[in-house]
Structure 1
Amino acid sequence: MFTFKSFFLTVTIIFCALQKSDSSVSFTTKNINVGVVSLRNFRDLIFYGEVSVGTPPQKFNVVFDTGNSNFWVPSTMWPTKTMYPHQKFNAKASKTYFPVPDRHDESIEYEAGALKGNLSRDNLMLGGVMLEAQDFVGFKPDSHLTEVKFDGILGLALPSLKIAGTKTVLENLVEKNLISQRIFSIRMTTSRKRKRAGDEVQNAGQITFGGLNKRHFRGEHVYVPVLSGTGFWNISMSQIYVGADDVQVCVPQCFAFVDSGTTDIYGPKVGETKF
């Protein structure tokens, strides 16, 4: 079984430069704001952290998913009988809630199926950073996600994958100058402290919006250009190693995208036999 001790990822947010192959980086330093959300590890399968929506705030545990651009939480119509208890967004209880007119049947596609719900806007508290009028979807009952541990998903992929007419969380953070640098970083750690199957480990990592924590890595970061056209954080690779062996499946190159919301590592079929 594959095990890991720690994983650290830094992503540079450069929406305007995605059509270029230029790997140069330019940071904005007008503010000193950095939002940090502590992550929980469930069975070494999924990592999620707490955010708040509405006024007064309603708390949700969400997966920070680099393979998706949209933000959603369950609505009060979500089923009462689920494997794990879930928070449900009560629009009537929020003073700052705004329903987007004529957007009552928005759909987000996942591998397991689609979710449908009402497009809405409300304040989002994200690691101490307040995002006003953030677009999100309050989803109606769905059978595909009744067995998950987390409440919702906060997408961190590129804007081309978003629901039409909305702004992603990353777009809002950048456009409103709410973070000091146009980057976010994710640290995930293995649940070595888990005593029995099913336990949830708190403080098992963090996601930082607007910076990175240098205590969690050594040396310098290596930045690679993001390839345009897919909407994902898609990068080019020339080699894949298993231990010390190059399995020769990226000749001359192959492409991969970094997805913080999945438990799997996917590769070419020819490579899977060599693992």
Structure 2
Amino acid sequence: MKHAARSLRFMAVPDSHGPYHEQVSDYEDAEYLGNITIGTPEQQFRVILDTGSANLWVPDTTCGQNKDNCDTGFCNISQLCSYLCPNPNCCNSGGGPNACDGKSKYDSSLSKTFVADGRKWSIQYGTGSASGIIGQDIVRFGSPGTNQLVVPGCVFGQATSLAPFFARQPIDGILGLAFKSIAVDGVTPPFLKAVDDHLVDQPVFTVFLEHVGGSSCSLRFIEEFQIDTMVRFPF
């Protein structure tokens, strides 16, 4: 498998604490993965950095526990699931683990800054769907202890159901970086919320991509571009 350390940067407005820097990993030359935290105190998640969608979601503590729709054994039999399981999102290929298992889950009861919303959401990707409830909390780009871009009041999805595809992915959720115009329920994506709050200058980022065999790659938000040394590491 091909993995590499990449660089992601957010350029801050003058007199702030930027620029913000985060290591980003390249998974199979197909996905870019980064770390974020949500809530107070911080709860950490690994997410796909997705320029093709505009919503942030992570698994909720109730993810995969929908007993009303997933309490039948047919949901764990791949040949019968799509025909007899009430909720296709419960289906597990070959009777494998639920897609929510093994992922970091957001616990709203532990966050002092969480605000309940009450709306439900559902997103259909080409590889499967995710659905749940909407909440609001602080989102931080980067791992705890680093110089994070802190964005208060972000609206995000607390996933209660995930398609089987996500069981095979080394991620907890997805961070959409696209425009608000394609966001489900019209929510403001976290990075654009940072723009609205004047934490960064413009809703612009540049990407330089090179095959994993190359020497460098960088992703930097706003104004600057830099090439950083590529480092291989195992998952």
What is the Cα deviation at residue 188 of structure 1? 4.7
Aligned 1:1-275 pairs, distance under 5 A: 30=14, 33-79=18-64, 81=97, 85-101=102-118, 103=119, 105-127=120-142, 128-144=148-164, 145-188=166-209, 190-192=211-213, 207-215=219-227
Change (3 A) 1:45 1:110: same
- Point out the structure with the larger helix share: 2
Q: In structure 2, what is the Cα distance between the partners aligned to 1:163 and 1:31?
A: 34
What is the Cα deviation at residue 178 of structure 1? 0.5
1:160 is paired with a residue whose SS is helix
Structure 2 counterpart of 1:226: none
What is the Cα deviation at residue 116 of structure 1? 1.1
Q: What's the TM-score, normalizing by structure 1?
A: 0.58
Aligned length: 186
2:185 is paired with a residue whose SS is coil
Q: In structure 1, what is the Cα distance between the partners aligned to 2:39 and 2:12?
A: 28
Q: In structure 1, what is the Cα distance between the partners aligned to 2:108 and 2:12?
A: 35
Deviation by residue 1:5-33 (Cα, 9 ceiling, x = unmatched): 999999xxxxxxxxxxxxxxxx9955553
Q: In structure 2, what is the Cα distance between the partners aligned to 1:85 and 1:153?
A: 16
Change (3 A) 1:180 1:69: same
Q: In structure 1, what is the Cα distance between the partners aligned to 2:15 and 2:26?
A: 31
Change (3 A) 1:189 1:62: farther
Q: Which amino acid aligns with 2:149?
A: V
- 8 A Cα contact 1:7 1:188, kept in partner: no
Q: What's the TM-score, normalizing by structure 2?
A: 0.66
Deviation by residue 1:159-213 (Cα, 9 ceiling, x = unmatched): 11112252112321111111144422345554459xxxxxxxxxx8554334433
Q: In structure 1, what is the Cα distance between the partners aligned to 2:12 and 2:112?
A: 33
Gaps of 5+ in 2: 66-96, 143-147, 229-235
What is the Cα deviation at residue 86 of structure 1? 1.5
Specify the structure having the higher radius of gyration (Cα).
1
2:181 is paired with a residue whose SS is helix
Q: In structure 2, what is the Cα distance between the partners aligned to 1:136 and 1:29?
A: 24
